[in-house]
Structure 1
């Protein structure tokens, strides 16, 4: 018996559900799919499965769409499937979106305001560990306006920021910051000699912007950008 025959006999979708201790009925409701769509998934009939179903199912399973497609196209064996959720490093962390509110007393201090009804972004514990993020509670999501960092970060994209009180500036890294006039922005930071800060855009049509040592105090540096998520298509 070859590897694929062994794999199919285990019904990969059922193996995933067993790992999550979910019944078929519970999963169908959570993923917002029909019985027929579940049967297509169960039989690995990719030709009949829509992109909507793939995205819904991947979200319900807390895995990305590429992993799900690999599972359904017989690129994993049963042993690999059984360990997808057994490794705690593969747990996902929900990152909520925030806005900033400046102190009305004239300082550049800010408060973070949670958007309770906006999207949440999932980040794996494995990724946090790889990035050296020891405290995922410090991660926040922000929506960006403008094309200053295009094509890497575009208008209405979401970015995940590691918010730290003690934040060393590393030349060339992307940071999120805010001021009272423009709200939340992202740029590459360059630290010139004698203090100050250069704000550099990836968009070649935008020139560098220099802040003197005193002017640097007019902005609030939120944190280092570690990831971005594309804007929602409307």
Structure 2
């Protein structure tokens, strides 16, 4: 059977409704509805939309995710049924923080809403990060010093752009820009104006229609040894130290 047929059968059973009851709600015959549950035929978009609205489950989830694997009440309580976001804890009760590998960013863009992909990612737990959903993304390039390759930015999921604060930094996952870590400057009629901390790079707009996810900076994890200070900087520190001690 198809995922869709299994899902609508499951959802109907959760509400303890008969096929006839659902068919009357959809204004179709019971035999026609039964064919959808038996995967004999697929509902047209108009009927699929009615099914989606009635069960309050997005079409995307109806046709792509086995809903039997996830608590229905959590799905219904998430914006747009974003099933990837329920907080998952380990055996000790710590919040699991999924890690997006440097070489798998494109995979995340294609599968950010696939629970099986998310469950397959490596994860860590940071006891000081609670009360939210967190995920670790790789930093790249030199646009946001001091964070470079080898650093992971841990972000807290933001489900509403109105909760964002001007001046803070965020990880933006979008169709056009991919995964970027930037500082939020302002909101325009069509998108979000962001900038790099490296003044070499110009601010730009990320269209709201392209945004998949937004994660607010929570902390960073450095996986490589920090570069040693230059001789000139060391000498400057020594000069300042000698100057202060002579006072």
Q: TM-score, normalised by structure 1?
A: 0.44
**Bigger helix share:** 2
Q: Which structure has the larger Rg over C-alpha atoms? A: 2
Identify the structure with bigger relative contact order (alpha carbons < 8 Å, sequence gap 6+): 1
- Give the alignment's TM-score, normalised by structure 2: 0.42
